[in-house]
Structure 1
Amino acid sequence: MNWDDQAATFDEQPDHGLRDPVVRAAWSARLAAWLPGPPADVFDAGCGTGSLTLLLAEQGHRPVGVDRSPEMVKRARRKLAGAGHRPEITVGDAAEPPGHFDVVLCRHLLWIFPDPAATLRGWIASLRPGGRLVLVEGRWGGAGLTAGEVAGTLRPMVREIVVEPLPDPALWGRPIDDERYAVVALP
């Protein structure tokens, strides 16, 4: 999929643009529950148009967003600058964090990597002591990864895994009938 072609309409989905106050509040609450207290250095892997990056900055974290799509990055920079935030957002490979972080956050991206286990190992290696990996993933329309697949891949790499189902329509802007979940892993 060419994400540059998707950038212009990406935020139209309620869970992408977070324009609906109910959806935005639901994501803000989930992030606050999954992340340590601010300020934390957070790598937003595959940041897209920066909706979660913006929530992180608003919560007092120091996000660094990376996305492969120059058009998505351009929109993310504009979105955050318009809200008065200027975190680092760059074009790059989300599998290669640009430094060490307290949190690696990834939403709906792990499934696209040719070797998800290698990507997870790289993300874990980029975590500072006491850091955490926060993955928001799912299985929809034949795409994605199940919670069991992600937890099974992570289990030998981490000391603790919490899987949280995410069926709440407030997160997605509509009822869902597929598998969506978060995994918080502590190395």
Structure 2
Amino acid sequence: MSKRQRANHQLSAQDRINAYWTGRAPSYDEYQQRPDRLADDRRAWSEVWAQALPPAPLDVLDVGTGTGQAALVLAGLGHRVTGIDLAEGMLAQAHRHAAAMAGGPRFRRGDAVHPDFPAASFDAVVSRYLMWTLREPATAVANWIRLLRPGGTVAVVDSTWFPHGLDNTAENFADHYDSEVRAALPLATATSIDQTVAVLEQAGLTRVTATPLTSIFELDRRFGVAPNHEHQMQYLVSGRV
């Protein structure tokens, strides 16, 4: 075990996840802001979220907001958006983007599993690319439901990124996503989006659907996917209270 691995082993599983994404934040954000596809991305994701949620303005919580991509799009649609994350590096990027946008989202440090807000604070809880790296997803979704007003929506975007395991990928997960971290993430190596659907259904949401995001799939075909990723379908999984 390397010196870095020994130091990481003394951290909690979530601490190690936070450290990974803080380190990844600059390159992750650079890819999200690629000028050759930025306008196309904004249009496509605006359509995805407009179809996922009732018309604006809603109070929306973006859990695991990362660099704030979903939160910024939702704010652009006229929603009142709060984004939370535990990776300080990701939040720094999100704050930078929000500062350049009138009426942009509010970002704060917060745990996606246990969001610290009063009950019935929001009309919708959303996430993008969180479920696979979310510890205790059943607990998390139950807590999201508590935050929703009657008729509220949970809408998450994700895919089956690593169906063959985290070792069988070009991503360098070794230093942070060790065996303890992987054991805490039941959807990390999901082989079907139905596993995410089941989490939402078992939490008590109704009318849960998984919609293939063909527009995003086509953009990835045209422009290429993120480094160390494969071209694969993403899904919007949503349900109502």
Tell whether the structures are fold-level matches, with TM greater than 0.5: yes
Structure 1 gaps of 5+ residues are: none
Query: What's the counterpart of residue 72 of structure 1?
Result: 90
Query: What's the counterpart of residue 175 of structure 2?
Result: none
Structure 2 gaps of 5+ residues are: 1-16, 164-187
Is the counterpart of residue 49 in structure 1 residue 49 in structure 2?
A: no
Mapped contact 1:134–1:182 kept (Cα < 8 A): yes
Structure 1 range deviating more: 50-59 or 172-181 = 172-181
Higher strand fraction (1 or 2): 1
Report how far residue 113 of structure 1 moved: 2.5
Mapped contact 2:152–2:240 kept (Cα < 8 A): yes
Is the counterpart of residue 4 in structure 1 residue 22 in structure 2?
A: yes
Mapped to 2, the partners of 1:52 and 1:158 lie a distance apart of 22
Amino acid at match of 2:208: I
Mapped to 2, the partners of 1:144 and 1:80 lie a distance apart of 32
Of 93, 114, 117, the residue aligned with 2:138 is: 117
| Residues 182, 18 of structure 1: alpha-carbon distance in 2 compared, 3 angstrom cutoff | farther
Mapped to 2, the partners of 1:18 and 1:52 lie a distance apart of 16
Query: Runs in 1 of length 4+ with deviation above 6 angstroms?
Result: none
Which protein is bigger by CA-based radius of gyration?
A: 2
| Residues 140, 63 of structure 1: alpha-carbon distance in 2 compared, 3 angstrom cutoff | same
Mapped contact 1:27–1:171 kept (Cα < 8 A): no
Query: What's the counterpart of residue 95 of structure 1?
Result: 113
Report how far residue 171 of structure 1 moved: 5.0
Structure 1 range deviating more: 164-173 or 37-46 = 164-173
Mapped to 2, the partners of 1:18 and 1:127 lie a distance apart of 34
Query: What's the counterpart of residue 185 of structure 1?
Result: 239
Query: What's the counterpart of residue 17 of structure 1?
Result: 33
| Residues 112, 90 of structure 1: alpha-carbon distance in 2 compared, 3 angstrom cutoff | same
TM-score where L is the length of structure 1: 0.89
Mapped to 2, the partners of 1:95 and 1:18 lie a distance apart of 30
Mapped to 2, the partners of 1:85 and 1:128 lie a distance apart of 23
Mapped contact 1:140–1:179 kept (Cα < 8 A): no
Mapped to 2, the partners of 1:26 and 1:90 lie a distance apart of 26
SS of structure 1 residue aligned to 2:30? coil
Mapped to 2, the partners of 1:153 and 1:8 lie a distance apart of 31
Of 107, 112, 119, the residue aligned with 2:128 is: 107
Amino acid at match of 1:184: S
Is the counterpart of residue 162 in structure 1 residue 216 in structure 2?
A: no
Of 42, 45, 54, the residue aligned with 1:27 is: 45
| Residues 86, 23 of structure 1: alpha-carbon distance in 2 compared, 3 angstrom cutoff | closer
Mapped contact 2:59–2:124 kept (Cα < 8 A): yes
Question: What RMSD over aligned residues (CA atoms) do the two structures have, in Å?
Answer: 2.0
| Residues 52, 140 of structure 1: alpha-carbon distance in 2 compared, 3 angstrom cutoff | same
SS of structure 1 residue aligned to 2:159? strand
**Percent of residue pairs bearing the same amino acid type:** 32
Mapped contact 1:49–1:75 kept (Cα < 8 A): yes
